[in-house]
Amino acid sequence: MAVYTLSFFAHAYETAWAVRAPQSDEASSANLMTKTLDYTRTEKVARIATAMMILGFLLLFAGVIARGLSAHRVPWGNMYEFSITGALAFTGAYLGALRKYDLRWLGLLVSIAVLLTLGTAVAVLYRPSAPLVPALKSTWLVIHVSAAIISGGVFLLANVIAAAYLYLDSMESKGPRSAWAQRLPSLEVLDQLSYRLVAFVFPLWTFAVIAGAIWAESAWGRYWGWDPKETWAFITWVAYAAYLHARVTIGWRGRRAAWLCLFAGSTFLFNYIYVNIYGTGKHTYSGL
């Protein structure tokens, strides 16, 4: 009980930190908008924002671990737990990509998305920690769900970048970028980046689907049954496969590729939100 209250506080604490991260980032964009262009100052603020993000990541990580401890199992049994872990994976994907590319312009969007997810999770989806139903008691839970959540985090990051691409593209077609957007990388970089993220994580998603099939074989007696969740996982897979083919083989770039990427990402989100709440398949365990 105590541990589980602790986990709740950890989330609340994390949320408070995350709120400060976008503020500081906003400050940095505000500086650019007023064209003071004091780079040393914004650099400092941006650094603080990133540090906050890392701190938030660590706290959320601790929160997820605490949740697992309080339930004596991996914390992936219901939608509240998926959401907090998903937010963790999304932040992780952002921070991971940050090591290689300067993505700090994305920080504002990422932190807002994480905040919204955590807010919904705590306010709407919260359930006291409870043991798993027998069907979920399997090693495959850890393997299947972690692969799916990590892929989800990276897919969404690629999606946000593709959306940024489309927005900047329409801005550029009307004229030069406005001041705040000049700090953002060029369209080609965004295009490449979202492609790399998808190509990187597509095998993992394939693995998540196959691991799910192996588990379904031992739990439900068939490895594939067109359960709504399975169907949508398949649709997501097909959509990203189409995206990769369109890029590598046909040579789609830019706007068309970004739209396809957004479409594929939305099938993933639809699967997570709609199928979990309104779906009637075997993936629905009571209490979301």
Partner 1 sequence: MTNEIEIPELGALGLFRYSWRQLTSMRTALILLLMLGVASIPGSLIPQRDQNPMKVTQYFTNSPGAARWMDRFSLFDVYGSPWFSAIYILLFISLIGCVLPRSIEHFHAARALPPVTPKNLQRMEFYDTWDSNGSELDRAHSWLKSSHFRILKTDNSISAEKGFTRETGNLFFHLSLILILVGVGFGSLFGMRGEAIVNVGERFINVPTTYDSLTFGKLFSEKDLPPFVITVDKFVAKYNPVTNMPEDYTLWVTEVEKPGAPAVKKIIKVNHPLTFGSTNVYLQANGYSPIVTVRDKVGNVALQGPIPFLPQDGNLRSIGAIKVPDTKPQIGFVASFLPTQARDALRGGISVFPEALDPKLLFSVWRGDLALDKGIPQSVYRIDTSKMERIGLHSLKPGETFSYDGGSITFEGIVPWVNLQVVRDPGKTYALLGGIVAILGLLASLFTRRRRIWIRINDEGRVEVAGLAKNAAPGLEEEIKKLVRLLNGEK
- Which residues form the interface with partner 1 (CB under 8 A)? 130-135, 137-138, 140, 199-200, 202-203, 206-207, 210, 213-215, 217-228, 231-232, 234-235, 238-239, 241-242, 245-246, 248-250, 267, 275, 279-281, 286-287
Burial class (CB in 10 A: 0-12, 13-18, 19+), 28: buried
CA distances to 22, 39, 189, 196 from 101, in Å:
19, 19, 10, 12
Amino acid identity at 211: A
Which is nearest to 209 in space by CA: 275, 287, 268, 135? 268
In angstroms, the CA 278 to CA 207 distance is: 26
Of 124 and 210, CB closest to partner 1: 210
CA distances to 216, 232, 275, 286 from 219, in Å:
5, 20, 20, 17
Of 57 and 195, CB closest to partner 1: 195
Which is nearest to 203 in space by CA: 162, 241, 158? 241
Residue 103 C-beta: closest distance to partner 1, Å:
18
Residue 235 C-beta: closest distance to partner 1, Å:
5
Burial class (CB in 10 A: 0-12, 13-18, 19+), 284: middle
Residue 12 C-beta: closest distance to partner 1, Å:
24
Residue 63 C-beta: closest distance to partner 1, Å:
22
Residue 97 C-beta: closest distance to partner 1, Å:
15
Of 167 and 287, CB closest to partner 1: 287
Q: Any idea what the Cα angle at residue 121 is, between residues 116 and 122, rounded to 5°?
A: 100
Residue 14 C-beta: closest distance to partner 1, Å:
27
Of 94 and 215, CB closest to partner 1: 215
Of 122 and 241, CB closest to partner 1: 241
In angstroms, the CA 226 to CA 203 distance is: 21
Of 94 and 232, CB closest to partner 1: 232
Residue 195 C-beta: closest distance to partner 1, Å:
11
Of 103 and 209, CB closest to partner 1: 209
